[in-house]
Structure 1
Amino acid sequence: MKIFSTLEPATRRNLLVLFATGLLFWSSLAALLPTLPLYIRDVGGTKYQVGVVIGAFAVGLLLFRPWLGRLADRRGRRIVLLLGLAAVAIAPLGYLMTQSIPLLIAIRAFHGLSIAAFTTAYSTLVVDLSPPSNRGEVIGYMSLVNPIGVAVGPAMGGFVQAWLGYTPLFLLSAGLGFAGLVSGLWIQAPMLIGPMMADTTKGAFWRLLFSPRLRTPTLAMLLVGLAFGVLSTFVPLFIQEAGVNLNAGLFYTAAAVAGFSVRLLTGRASDRYGRGRFITLGLLLYALTMLLLWSAHSVTAFLLAGLLEGAGTGIFLPLIVALVADRSEAHERGRVFSLCVGGFDLGIAIAGPALGFFAEYIGYRGIFGLASGLAFLSVLVFITQCNKTLPHSLEFALGDGSDQYALPQGD
């Protein structure tokens, strides 16, 4: 991590505080990953209702992400970051106060505000603070907050729920969120250059969707989001249905360990060798994860799937952020990141209720088979559409080709 020793002291301090804040945020959020579907079921929810409640998380993402992206460009990243931290601290207390499915849907949608705000602000702040020549490396290191938080959070949440029950679990999640909010108050965001000149209208935001430089990353994020929605909603229940003696939190811990390991290497490598080949590899690993889950019948198979999923996510998500950063100007990054990650949000929103409906008929194993097809489709889309022409796309996605959509990076 020599890159951090070359940064200005103020920049290094901001990145360290931001990293600590991110750890607390993801630990709070991830503590509920293996337990919230079980809570919904235990209060009387059907398979379909479990999918609807969990999927409502992405409704909040979709509703708030465009506005938050514009706010980040117009008013600064810090206020958006603090909004996300406040939401992640408050939402678990809402789960604690009700067992009504309609109210749980509303609370889950509010919970979605937290990740919409935090991920938009966090990614944008990291890019703002990173030297362009080492952008992939810094993003890779700073994205470690996700696998570490997702390693600690689910294991903590799963064991607290098993030993002490749901009330201490929700209080733990809320406490981690409030600690993150306090930490976030110490972050000093860099001044924006010319934000008032940026066109932050709603029309301008949605016009970005049709820009060739952003269309394919957004579509790839949508397809991966569909697969991830299945994963985050149904893995704990699938493990129980399959009769496998495994704490679902350990699946997410295995994913986090793999995600941590690959992020130490691929960010720096992408600065040197290009983003495309690594993004393709991440998508392939994600597709193999879903295929393995479709056929899983043992503890070993589930843990191996967790490792593959973590590696795929650890490669794909940070490098998509780096790719989009390469293709955007500083004054539009809030909107650009919120749009592209919005594809991921939409996938999660669709996956919960839509595939939850299919789960009633084809079972959890069947929907993981469907998810594997969607993930393989994302590979095909990326390698054929990621650049200006098919030959350039194949060269960029599979070899040493340059990104034809990259902008000069002088900021």
Structure 2
Amino acid sequence: MKGALSWPFMRLYLLTLLYFSANSILNVIIPLKGEALGASNTTIGLIMGSYLLTTMLFRPWAGQLIHRYGPIRVLRIILTINGLALLLYTFTDIGGYFFARVLQGSCTAFFSMALQLGIIDALPEKDRSQGISMYSLCSYLPGILGPMLAIGIWQTGEMSVFAVTMIVIAVLTGLVGFTAYMKQEQQPEQAGGSSSSNSTAIGMIKATSQLIRNPHLLKSSVLMLSASIVFGAVTAFVPLYAMHVPGGSAAIYLMIQAAVVVAARFLLRKKIPSDGNWRSSFMMGTMLLLTVASLCVSMAATAGALLLYAGALLMGVAQALLYPTLTTYLSFVLPQDQRNVLIGLFIAMADLGVSLGGIVMGPIADFTSYSMMYMICAIIGAAMLLLAYDKSGMLMNKE
């Protein structure tokens, strides 16, 4: 094996799989425990959304620090902190989960940026899309068995099993992470006489202005933000919504969606554009899949489980294609000297969307219903079809 499938990169993909295993369990356990304790959808959405909201806030800063100190050094520090966050879940209740989610979210900002920027910097241009797709694939692979494991843990009524599971995941992640190596890792920058915090702040301010001024970044970020709201609403509330669907199972839904994401990202990884050109038909087709998937989930409360699972299948394909396509596209068209920070800002928009999927859609579900909430998600997806279409061809040429 060579390129994106060589052994050093396979170890990074294994680390990604282990790191996100805990979240595939927590995404089911937290809503179930919240409902059991009488928490509203608003409260559950806030706790679920706090994870990626924190990730979003730390993401641009993470890009700066990784550029300065190198991905491996940063990776080892945040893996230690992440282990402590997982330990918090073993002895706290729903209130303590909020703090643990915030701590874990800050770790995820640095983890995902270190892995993705390390992969982008180490691989030649022709292999970038495969590397990003494999990273994304492994981040979703735990979602195939994680939900079923979480349901099994919940049904035993023994939270000690949950505690042991979190501890084992933390230890294994640390062992793999501390032996990881990136062959072409960037050399850390020397800290000069000027304040590094000032340069970081200036870099983030400039990056934020690029979100408005750079058409490549703006269009990609709005598409990712909107789609991520839908993904976040699914993650936060399907464990509860599935109970209202005749014959529905949250574990089966989440397993189908994760399995489709994994299969599509592996089988279609070479189909993802990797030349820096904007493909309107490809992006519109992806957003159409997202829209139809949301409609299926919305109507499943009356139509039954088959429509729910059809929504899982379509949602999985859309999720598999959207993120690596936009990330790869931006890796080509963004200015080289600002690429790391701007990609960090783009990923922050994805985090914000998933967070809003819980924080904003929770109150909507409280005041209306889960079905109406997912219908609103379908409307968001339909609106993005117009944005994905590039009539002027403005984004077809690199700057």
The TM-score, its normalising length taken from structure 1, stands at 0.85
- Structure 1 match to 2:109: 116
Distance verdict in 2 for CA 1:142–1:354, change over 3 Å: closer
Q: What's the RMSD between the two structures over aligned residues?
A: 2.6
- Structure 1 match to 2:55: 61
Inter-partner Cα distance in structure 1 for 2:274 and 2:216: 21
Inter-partner Cα distance in structure 1 for 2:375 and 2:163: 32
**2:90 is paired with a residue of what secondary structure?**
helix
Which has the higher mean CA deviation after the structures are superposed, 78-87 or 333-342? 78-87
- Structure 1 match to 2:360: 354
Identity %: 19
- Structure 1 match to 2:282: 278
Distance verdict in 2 for CA 1:168–1:71, change over 3 Å: same
- Structure 1 match to 2:206: 204
Q: Answer yes or no: is the 8 Å Cα contact 2:291–2:378 preserved in 1.
A: yes
- Aligned-pair distance for 1:266? 2.9
Q: Answer yes or no: is the 8 Å Cα contact 2:257–2:315 preserved in 1.
A: yes
Provide, for residues 349-394 of structure 1, a one-character-per-residue CA deviation record: whole Å limited to 9, x for no partner. 323222211211211111111111112222322224xxxxx3215x
Inter-partner Cα distance in structure 1 for 2:115 and 2:52: 18
- Aligned-pair distance for 1:338? 1.6
Inter-partner Cα distance in structure 2 for 1:98 and 1:161: 16
- Structure 1 match to 2:226: 223
Distance verdict in 2 for CA 1:250–1:177, change over 3 Å: farther
Q: Partner letter of residue 318 of structure 1?
A: P
- Aligned-pair distance for 1:294? 0.6
Q: Partner letter of residue 293 of structure 2?
A: T
- Structure 1 match to 2:152: 159
- Aligned-pair distance for 1:99? 2.3
Inter-partner Cα distance in structure 1 for 2:260 and 2:144: 10
- The partner residue of 1:73 within 57, 67, 70 is 67
Provide, for residues 182-230 of structure 1, a one-character-per-residue CA deviation record: whole Å limited to 9, x for no partner. 2111222323279679974332232332222211111111111211121
**2:261 is paired with a residue of what secondary structure?**
helix
- Structure 1 match to 2:294: 290
- The partner residue of 1:317 within 308, 323, 327 is 323
- The partner residue of 1:244 within 244, 247, 250 is 247
Inter-partner Cα distance in structure 2 for 1:174 and 1:280: 43
- Aligned-pair distance for 1:232? 0.8
Inter-partner Cα distance in structure 1 for 2:262 and 2:206: 36
1:328-339 matched pairs, under 5 angstroms:
328=334, 332-339=338-345
**2:389 is paired with a residue of what secondary structure?**
helix
Q: Answer yes or no: is the 8 Å Cα contact 2:274–2:329 preserved in 1.
A: no
**Residue 381 (str. 1) matches residue 365 (str. 2):** no
- Structure 2 match to 1:99: 93
**1:188 is paired with a residue of what secondary structure?**
coil
Q: Answer yes or no: is the 8 Å Cα contact 2:126–2:274 preserved in 1.
A: no
Q: Answer yes or no: is the 8 Å Cα contact 1:91–1:174 preserved in 2.
A: no
Inter-partner Cα distance in structure 2 for 1:84 and 1:280: 37
Distance verdict in 2 for CA 1:78–1:378, change over 3 Å: farther
Inter-partner Cα distance in structure 1 for 2:385 and 2:75: 32
Inter-partner Cα distance in structure 1 for 2:274 and 2:82: 36
Q: Answer yes or no: is the 8 Å Cα contact 2:122–2:185 preserved in 1.
A: no
Which has the higher mean CA deviation after the structures are superposed, 325-334 or 193-202? 193-202
Inter-partner Cα distance in structure 2 for 1:268 and 1:231: 28
Inter-partner Cα distance in structure 1 for 2:12 and 2:67: 19
Inter-partner Cα distance in structure 2 for 1:24 and 1:391: 44
- Structure 2 match to 1:213: 216
Work out the number of aligned pairs and report it.
Answer: 385
Q: Answer yes or no: is the 8 Å Cα contact 2:58–2:109 preserved in 1.
A: yes
**Residue 305 (str. 1) matches residue 311 (str. 2):** yes
Q: Answer yes or no: is the 8 Å Cα contact 2:33–2:94 preserved in 1.
A: no
- Aligned-pair distance for 1:116? 1.6
Which has the higher mean CA deviation after the structures are superposed, 108-117 or 335-344? 108-117
Inter-partner Cα distance in structure 1 for 2:48 and 2:297: 20
Inter-partner Cα distance in structure 2 for 1:372 and 1:79: 42
Inter-partner Cα distance in structure 2 for 1:272 and 1:223: 23
Q: Answer yes or no: is the 8 Å Cα contact 2:128–2:328 preserved in 1.
A: yes
**2:12 is paired with a residue of what secondary structure?**
helix
**Residue 188 (str. 1) matches residue 192 (str. 2):** no
Distance verdict in 2 for CA 1:345–1:5, change over 3 Å: closer
Inter-partner Cα distance in structure 2 for 1:301 and 1:185: 44
Q: Answer yes or no: is the 8 Å Cα contact 1:91–1:107 preserved in 2.
A: yes
Q: Answer yes or no: is the 8 Å Cα contact 1:355–1:367 preserved in 2.
A: yes
Inter-partner Cα distance in structure 1 for 2:74 and 2:376: 36
- Structure 2 match to 1:400: none
- The partner residue of 1:148 within 127, 136, 141 is 141
Q: Partner letter of residue 393 of structure 2?
A: H
Q: Answer yes or no: is the 8 Å Cα contact 1:78–1:188 preserved in 2.
A: yes
Q: Partner letter of residue 159 of structure 1?
A: G
**1:296 is paired with a residue of what secondary structure?**
helix
Q: Answer yes or no: is the 8 Å Cα contact 1:28–1:174 preserved in 2.
A: no
- Aligned-pair distance for 1:84? 4.5
Could you tell me which runs of 5 or more consecutive residues in structure 2 were left unpaired when the two chains were aligned.
Answer: none
Q: Partner letter of residue 278 of structure 1?
A: F
Inter-partner Cα distance in structure 2 for 1:170 and 1:355: 30
Provide, for residues 62-117 of structure 1, a one-character-per-residue CA deviation record: whole Å limited to 9, x for no partner. 3211211211111112234334433443323323322253x432222222123222
Which has the higher mean CA deviation after the structures are superposed, 161-170 or 35-44? 161-170
Q: Answer yes or no: is the 8 Å Cα contact 1:89–1:175 preserved in 2.
A: no
